[in-house]
Amino acid sequence: MSQTEVQLIKDAVIVNADVSNSAAIDVSKISGVMPSAGGTFTGDVTFDGQTAGRDILFDRSRDALAFKDNAVAEFGTDVDLQIYHSGAHSFIANTGGQLAIRCNTTIHLSDDTGADHLKATKDGSVELYYDAGKKLETTSSGVTVTGQIISDGLQMGDNERAKFGSHDDLQIIHDGSNSFISESGTGDLFFTTTSGAIKQQKNTGENMIVANVDGAVELYHDNTKTFETTAEGATFDTGSSSCVVRLNSNTDAVSILQAFGSDFLLKAPSGGGVSINTNSNESAINCISNGAVELYHDNSKKFETLSDGVNVTGTLKVNGSPFTGGKILQVVAAETTNHASTSGSSFVDTNITANITPSSSSSKILVMIDAPFHVIRSNGTSNSFEVKVLRNGGDITDTITNHGTHQSGIGSGAISSNRSVGVLNKIILDSPSSTSQLTYKMQMGGAFSGNTVNFQDGSKSHITLMEVAA
């Protein structure tokens, strides 16, 4: 070793050129400059990366170990954890197991001003922030949200409740079989819309209830509208020839309002009656089951049907004038559906008959008959026939006609090529001069050969006898 080299060693400044391959250097001579030999670096240290610009520098003046852009700090035998800065962004990359950030007090994820984005407190809450404002916080009972939640969906299990209000007044729950929307507070439950309608539908889209804004509320049966509110009230419409409204009482008694075709039916429960009262609950009309029909004036009964006629309380007036001298003393009414038929000219009974016993021999008997008929005739023959009214077997038709002893014609009706139908009406005022029971009946006959006259063929005939005071 040259004198110069020795001098350099004495100065403890060694460079590569000062040491040859065969030199034997005492480690103690370089212990102050090589850390591997127990020394200390007293200045900046640069670790030169193989890729240019990816160096690692210990900057003594800043007490910092600086990794240049894309220079990676790696941890783990399999390099599972990496920390680096790409020049634009910073990364903590974990490729094996979990990445745990631990603290015995509170973890803060903050921006460069110190404003929190996330705050996690040991044995306490986790808080999420937006622009330094707390928006979500976990609690011992769930979470607290400040502001609005926007979501693509919310899924909850059976018997889990969505609760609203500071006292959980509104709750939504599915118990595994049924679903409930429950308002348990002191307020109301509102469903509102600004336009269109509020609809309750089957899951197939069939309507059950439709509440239209500024319009009708509609009720449906099997997707057919049967009830609708209107400006005047309400409309029932089944879309068929029959519309029925049933009114059930707490005893299961059923009253029926029914529109059938062009007819209207008001039907009381079994054994009950039908009453029409005024607003002050005064009786106007009473229809008693298996009994009378009563008509009232100012809550006082004035007219009543009886099993053998009618009863009038007070004065009977015709065209506003009292019916005197011709006062109706009693009324007897009868009806029959018994079929009667003849194809001959001889007179036979029509089964239309009634009995009355006059209270005075001076009384007259007003006989009124209406009887549906039809005539089946042979081609080329007339459809006329004859009827007569008898009292106790005697013909009384001549008392009101000058067409002989028998009435000819068919009354009102329609005529086809081989059939005529109609209703025969007869009104006769008879003077029997008797107080004994009288039997009135109608007979028919005078049919042309080959013709058949029918009464009560699937229909009903009526006869009314009224005793009129002389």
Q: Are residues 346 and 443 in the same domain?
A: yes
Q: List pLDDT tens digits, range 397-425.
A: 743 332 223 334 444 444 444 667 788 88
Flag whether pLDDT at 73 surpasses 90: yes
Closest by CA position to 265, among listed 287, 296, 292 = 287
Q: List pLDDT tens digits, range 336-375.
A: 999 998 887 788 899 999 999 999 998 999 999 998 888 7
Closest by CA position to 461, among listed 341, 350, 375, 370 = 370
The larger pLDDT score, comparing residue 218 to residue 263, is at: 218
Share of the chain above pLDDT 70, in %: 83
Integer angstrom CA distances of residue 201 from 8, 213, 219, 276: 100, 17, 11, 39
**Element spanning 305, H or E:** strand 300-306
434: CATH: 2.60.120.1340
Specify the DSSP class assigned to residue 396.
-
Task: Give pLDDT, residue 327.
Answer: 80
In a domain, 212, yes or no: no
Q: Are residues 370 and 340 in the same domain?
A: yes
Q: Are residues 134 and 83 in the same domain?
A: no
Q: Are residues 77 and 115 in the same domain?
A: no
Q: Are residues 332 and 464 in the same domain?
A: yes
Task: Give pLDDT, residue 29.
Answer: 52
What residues make up the domain containing 115?
106-140
Question: How do 293-297 and 283-287 pair as beta strands?
Answer: antiparallel
Flag whether pLDDT at 59 surpasses 60: yes
Task: Give pLDDT, residue 410.
Answer: 41
In a domain, 232, yes or no: no
Q: Are residues 43 and 113 in the same domain?
A: no
Q: Given CA atoms 60, 65, 66, 67 in this order, what sign does their dihedral have? A: positive
Q: Are residues 347 and 419 in the same domain?
A: yes
Dist CA 16 CA 332 (whole Å): 150
The larger pLDDT score, comparing residue 413 to residue 252, is at: 252
Flag whether pLDDT at 392 surpasses 90: yes
In a domain, 446, yes or no: yes
Instruction: Kindly write down the DSSP assignment for every residue of 210-270, as one continuous string.
Output: EEETTS-EEEEETTEEEEEE-SSSEEE--SSSEEEEEEE-TT--EEEEEEETTEEEEEPST
Q: What domain count does the chain have?
A: 4
In a domain, 311, yes or no: no
Q: Are residues 453 and 337 in the same domain?
A: yes
In a domain, 243, yes or no: no
Which positions ≥6 away from 52 have C-beta within 8 Å? none
Q: Are residues 354 and 445 in the same domain?
A: yes
Dist CA 101 CA 116 (whole Å): 17
Q: Are residues 462 and 340 in the same domain?
A: yes
Which positions ≥6 away from 290 have C-beta within 8 Å? none
Task: Give pLDDT, residue 90.
Answer: 93
Average pLDDT (151-176) is: 91
In a domain, 248, yes or no: no
pLDDT band at 235 (very low <50, low <70, confident <90, very high): confident
Contact 375, 383 (CB under 8 A): yes
Q: Are residues 83 and 126 in the same domain?
A: no
In a domain, 71, yes or no: yes
Share of the chain above pLDDT 90, in %: 49
Lowest mean per-residue pLDDT among 71-80, 265-274, 280-289, 437-446: 265-274
The larger pLDDT score, comparing residue 380 to residue 156, is at: 156
Residue 440 one-letter amino acid: Y
Q: Are residues 354 and 414 in the same domain?
A: yes
